[in-house]
Amino acid sequence: MDLPKIEDFLLKTGLYEELRFDIESYYWIKDLKNKKLNIDAYCPECGEMSTFNSARNITRSGSDFSGQLDLNEQGLEDLEQKKYNDFINKNKIIERKLKCARDENHIMFFNFMIKDKSNVDKENKILKIGQYPSMVDLKKVELKKYRKQLGKILTKELASEYSNAVMLHAHGYGVASFVHLRRIFEGLIETTFLEKIDDICLDKETFYKKRMDEKIKLLKEYIPDFLGQNSFIYSILSKGIHELDEEECLEIFEVVKMGIEIILEEKIKKINKKKRKEFIEKKLNKINSNLS
């Protein structure tokens, strides 16, 4: 089973986002509870990036489990299953506490609940049921960076869609977060068309009536390479809005968001390169003029 790094699970998983696991995930679940952690993250109280280190974790509804498996013992499968079941039964609620290296009074809390196979789906699941500071607070550096950068390529309204998507995901609204990511995608396509409308020789009304795949094909020469090569991202976003449920959207949000970020970063990089080129050309022309 493909499971995220513990650090990523703490920092990137939204509230009430469920993760399925089985006996093969036994050591991953133990690490979630016991692993010594050193995480680089934004500290809202310091107002800057810091390192957070593990503090003593608290277990509710049971005691710590520290048994080790003897890989040579007869009946390993039954023994492993028993230890796995014991651990799940004794650790229904797992809490991790981390302290800021700059000031130990600045702390992070993460609370998780394990749902065993007695639930409706008959699957073991773990979900985040609490977090402090909020994911939005932890992402302020990232949000600030993108808000400023997005202002270079999108309208103010569309630039705010990124923050809205992250905040909604942080509060467990998967489908709604996809709505805002799709608006960014659509906004990027529209602004590219308006920038190149004279080169494309197509009126607005005709362009707006086209399907998204047709718009992308029309603008292929002008859009970021990653967008052209992965235009199906729009289809994923649309399916998320119209076909997937909250849990499914929450599960794939981070990857889809990163795809959008790569597209935006390519666009920003292209703009910055153009500005730098124009600046250098201006300086070179001035030098050449002075030397003539």
In tens, the pLDDT along 170-183 reads: 788 899 999 999 99
- Give the start-end residues of each E strand in the chain: 18-21, 38-43, 48-54, 58-60, 93-100, 107-115, 124-132
Using pLDDT thresholds of 50, 70 and 90, give the confidence band for residue 121. low
> Does residue 290 lie within any of the structural domains?
no
| Distance from C-alpha of 170 to C-alpha of 156, rounded to nearest angstrom | 22
Mapping DSSP to helix (H, G, I), strand (E, B) and coil, where does residue 166 land? helix
pLDDT value, residue 117:
67
Location of structure tokens 């960076």: 145
Point out the least confidently predicted range of 5-9, 117-121, 221-225: 117-121
Q: From the CA atom positions of the chain, what is the Rg in Å?
A: 24
Q: Which of 133, 168, 203 is the last residue of a domain?
A: 133
Tell me which of 23 and 44 has the higher pLDDT.
44
Q: Per-residue pLDDT for 222 more than 80?
A: yes
* Same domain (yes/no): 242, 187: yes
Calculate the alpha carbon distances from 14 to 19, 51, 143, 147, 177 in Å: 11, 21, 16, 21, 11
Q: Please count the structural domains in the chain.
A: 2
31-35, 66-70, 242-246 — which one is most confidently predicted on average?
242-246
Question: Per-residue pLDDT for 118 more than 70?
Answer: no
Written as one string, the DSSP assignment of 82-135 is HHHHHHHHH-SEEEEEEEESS-TTSEEEEEEEEE-TTSTT-SEEEEEEEEES-H
* 145 and 129 in a common domain: no
Answer yes or no: is 259 within a domain. yes
Whether 118 and 148 map to the same domain: the answer is no
The Cα 157–Cα 226 span in angstroms is 24
For residue 234, pLDDT beyond 90: yes
* Any domain includes 88: yes
| Alpha-carbon gap, residue 200 to 194, rounded angstroms | 10
Last residue in a domain, options 133, 167, 184: 133
CA pair distance 166, 272, nearest whole angstrom: 25
Q: Do 259 and 233 meet the contact criterion of CB atoms below 8 Å apart? A: yes
Please report whether residue 288 resides in a domain. no
Verify that 217 and 246 share a domain, yes or no.
Answer: yes
Question: Is the four-CA dihedral 16, 17, 23, 29 of positive or negative sign?
Answer: negative
- Answer yes or no: are the C-beta atoms of 222 and 244 closer than 8 Å: no
Residues 156 and 108 in one domain: no
pLDDT at 176: 95
Average pLDDT of span 23-34: 80
Q: Tokens standing for 94?
A: 């797992």
Both 11 and 118 in one domain: the answer is yes
Phi/psi for 104 (5° steps) reads -65, -15
pLDDT confidence tier of residue 61, bands split at 50, 70 and 90 = very low
Instruction: Please say if the pLDDT value at position 153 is more than 90.
Output: no
Distance in angstroms (rounded) separating the CA atoms of residues 238 and 175: 10
| Residue bearing tokens 């009536």 | 209
Q: Report the C-alpha gap between 40 and 53 in whole angstroms.
A: 9
Q: 251 lies in which domain range?
A: 140-281
Last residue of a domain, which of 88, 113, 133?
Answer: 133
